């Protein structure tokens, strides 16, 4: 059932009708469909001022309340990543709450505004190093994720190495979350992690080779 016309509009129709205006004139002046105006005019003539109020109210649409945990997660993401907009944060929330009722982008923006978290800066973020690698294996990128919740409610972490030029994934290790522990001795590194090769002692890279291996000043 459609929503009834607002009371001010209904009163304006009844007032213009009593002034002698025709149905097409009223409909054109108030930007209404002539059939709607004709129906209300007939109703007003039969019942008078008592017909101004509608006989039914607009449907009441209720939405389930959003869990407080989800709201805290959204605010935490915004605080940790000030450059993330509401749209991106909503996508991230879908990963951690696959079955929950997510708020709209506008709702997220209102939450951020109430907490004093201003809007994300417009446009793309400036690149830290505009000179990206232009050859394969010139620069490798390492990315780590921890405590990513799966659909099975389990959490996993992973470590990934990607070639910057091609975007190819060179190596990935997926493992359950675990707490960090101390090495074999204090102030000394432990053994090399599984899947990686030891590089030996640190040494200075000549200036001409810094860009070739991804170093910048």
Domain ranges of the chain: 7-51, 68-114, 135-178
Predicted pLDDT at 210: 44
From residue 132, how far is each of 124, 137, 160, 205 by CA, in Å? 16, 12, 19, 19
Report angle CA 197, 199, 201 to the nearest 5 degrees.
Answer: 150
Q: Sign of torsion, CA 76 83 150 173? A: negative
Predicted pLDDT at 190: 58
Q: What would the two tokens of residue 170 be?
A: 């060179």
From residue 119, how far is each of 2, 106, 115, 116, 124 by CA, in Å? 36, 12, 11, 9, 14
Predicted pLDDT at 200: 60
CB 105 within 8 A of CB 86: yes
What pLDDT tens digit does each residue of the chain (217 aa) get?
567 788 888 899 989 988 989 999 998 988 888 998 998 999 888 888 888 888 765 555 556 677 888 888 889 998 888 888 888 999 998 888 877 788 888 889 988 888 888 776 666 655 556 577 888 888 888 888 888 888 888 888 888 998 888 888 888 888 888 766 655 555 555 566 565 666 666 555 555 444 444 444 4
Predicted pLDDT at 176: 85
From residue 2, how far is each of 57, 59, 99, 175 by CA, in Å? 10, 9, 31, 55
CB 136 within 8 A of CB 165: yes
Q: What is the pTM of this model?
A: 0.34
User: What is the Cβ-side half-sphere exposure of residue 65, based on CA atoms within 13 angstroms?
Assistant: 3
């Amino acid at each position: 059932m459609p929503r009834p016309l607002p009371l001010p509009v209904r009163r304006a129709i009844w007032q213009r009708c009593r002034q002698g205006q025709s149905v097409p004139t009223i409909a054109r002046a108030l930007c209404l469909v002539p059939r709607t105006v004709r129906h209300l005019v007939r109703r007003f003539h039969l019942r008078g001022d008592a017909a101004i109020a509608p006989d039914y109210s607009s449907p009441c649409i209720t939405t389930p309340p959003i869990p407080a945990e989800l709201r805290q997660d959204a605010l935490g993401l915004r605080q940790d990543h000030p450059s993330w907009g509401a749209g991106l944060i909503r996508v991230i929330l879908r990963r951690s709450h696959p079955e929950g009722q997510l708020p709209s982008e506008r709702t997220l923006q209102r939450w951020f505004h109430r907490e004093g978290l201003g809007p994300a800066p417009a446009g793309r973020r400036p690149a830290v190093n505009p000179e990206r690698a232009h050859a394969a294996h010139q620069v490798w990128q390492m990315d780590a994720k921890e405590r990513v919740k799966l659909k099975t409610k389990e959490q996993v972490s992973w470590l990934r190495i990607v070639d910057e030029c091609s975007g190819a994934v060179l190596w990935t290790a997926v493992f359950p979350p675990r707490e960090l522990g101390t090495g074999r001795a204090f102030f000394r590194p432990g053994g090399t992690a599984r899947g990686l090769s030891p590089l030996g002692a640190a040494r200075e890279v000549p200036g001409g080779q810094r860009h070739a291996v991804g170093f910048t000043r």
